[in-house]
Amino acid sequence: MRPVLGVVVPAHDEEELLPACLAGLRVAVGAVADRVRVDVLVVADACTDRTEAVARRCGVEVLRLDAHTVGRARAAGASFLLGRGPSWLATTDADSVVPHDWLAAQLDARAEGADGWVGTVDVADWRGLPPPVRRRYRDAYENGDGDAHRHVHGASLGIAARAYEAVGGFPPRATGEDVALVDRLDRAGFRVVRDGAHPVATSARTVGRAPDGFAGHLLGLAGRRVIADPSGTRWVEDPRPDQRRGRDNGSAAHIS
C-alpha cells in the first residue's frame, strides 16, 4: 500500500483564486502518484462566497470551519488528515500556485531524513504595485546564501506527521502560525530542510487574509497608508482593485 501524504489549504472567501491553486496541486499530485496517495483538503474558514462549491467542483474534499483564524484553520485541517495516518503533511495557501515538483521535492527531502521542509514564494504578477516594490522585495528576500534561506511561509511548508504531533502542531494564531511551528521544530532538534529551488507563486494583493501576513509585507514595501476604522479593523486601498479581498481576517503567507 502506498503511503499517504496530506495537503491542507486554508481558504477564506477565495472563490476567484482557488481554482488556480487547486489546478497547480493537481499537477503536483500527478507527479508523485506512483509514490504516495495524496489527500488534498480545503479548509473553508468562515466563507461567505462560493469557496466551498468551487473546491467541490474541482473534486477536492472540504472541511467547513468558522474560526476566522488561519492558525486554527491549518491546525483543523492537519488534525482531520492525521486521522487517515499520513506520513507527511504539506500546506499551501488558496491564493498561491505550487510548482509541478513541489510535492516531489518534499518527498525527496523526507527520504533523506528531513522532518520538515520550508520552501520559498515568488510573486506571480507585480502589475499594479509601484515599480520599486519588486526591487525592495528582492533585496530583502534574497539576502541569504542560496537555499539556506530563513523565510517561512504557510504557502510552502511540509512536515513529517510524527514531528508535527511531537511539537504540538500549528498554534491557533491569527498570523505567524507557520513561523511558530518551524521554530518549535528547530528548538526540538528536528531536521528542517530550507529549499529555495521550488518557489510557490503567490498573489501580490495588498489586502490580505491575515494581519501582518505577506500582503502586509508588500504593503510595507510599497509604503501604502493603513487606515483604521472605528472597530479596529484595518482597511487599505488596494492598488489592484480587481484583486481586492476586503478585510485582513483570513489566511495569507507570512514572511519572516
Domain ranges of the chain: 4-202
pTM: 0.79
Q: Phi then psi for 103, rounded to 5 degrees?
A: -75, -35
96, 20 contact by CB (below 8 A):
no
205, 215 contact by CB (below 8 A):
yes
The whole-number pLDDT of residue 4 equals 96
Write a three-state SS string for the chain: CCCEEEEEEEECCCCCCHHHHHHHHHHHHHHCCCCCEEEEEEEEECCCCCHHHHHHHCCCEEEEECCCCHHHHHHHHHHHHHCCCCCEEEECCCCEECCCCHHHHHHHHHHCCCCEEECCEEECCCCCCCHHHHHHHHHHHCCCCCCCCCCCCCCCEEEEHHHHHHCCCCCCCCCCHHHHHHHHHHHCCCCEEECCCCCEEECCCCCCCCCCCHHHHHHHHHCCCEEECCCCCEEECCCCHHHCCCCCCCCCCCCC
The one-digit pLDDT tens for each residue of the chain (256 residues) are 789 999 999 999 999 999 999 999 999 999 999 999 999 999 999 999 999 999 999 999 999 999 999 999 999 999 999 999 999 999 999 999 999 999 999 999 999 999 999 999 988 766 666 677 667 767 767 655 445 578 899 999 999 999 999 999 999 999 899 999 999 999 999 999 999 999 999 876 544 555 555 555 555 545 543 333 344 433 333 333 333 233 333 332 333 3
The whole-number pLDDT of residue 213 equals 52
* CATH no. of 4-202: 3.90.550.10
Residues 6+ apart with CB under 8 A from 43: 8, 9, 10, 11, 62, 63, 65, 73, 74, 76, 77
One-letter amino acid identity for 59? G
Grid cell in block for residue 246: 476586503
The whole-number pLDDT of residue 122 equals 87
Grid cell in block for residue 54: 468551487
The whole-number pLDDT of residue 212 equals 55
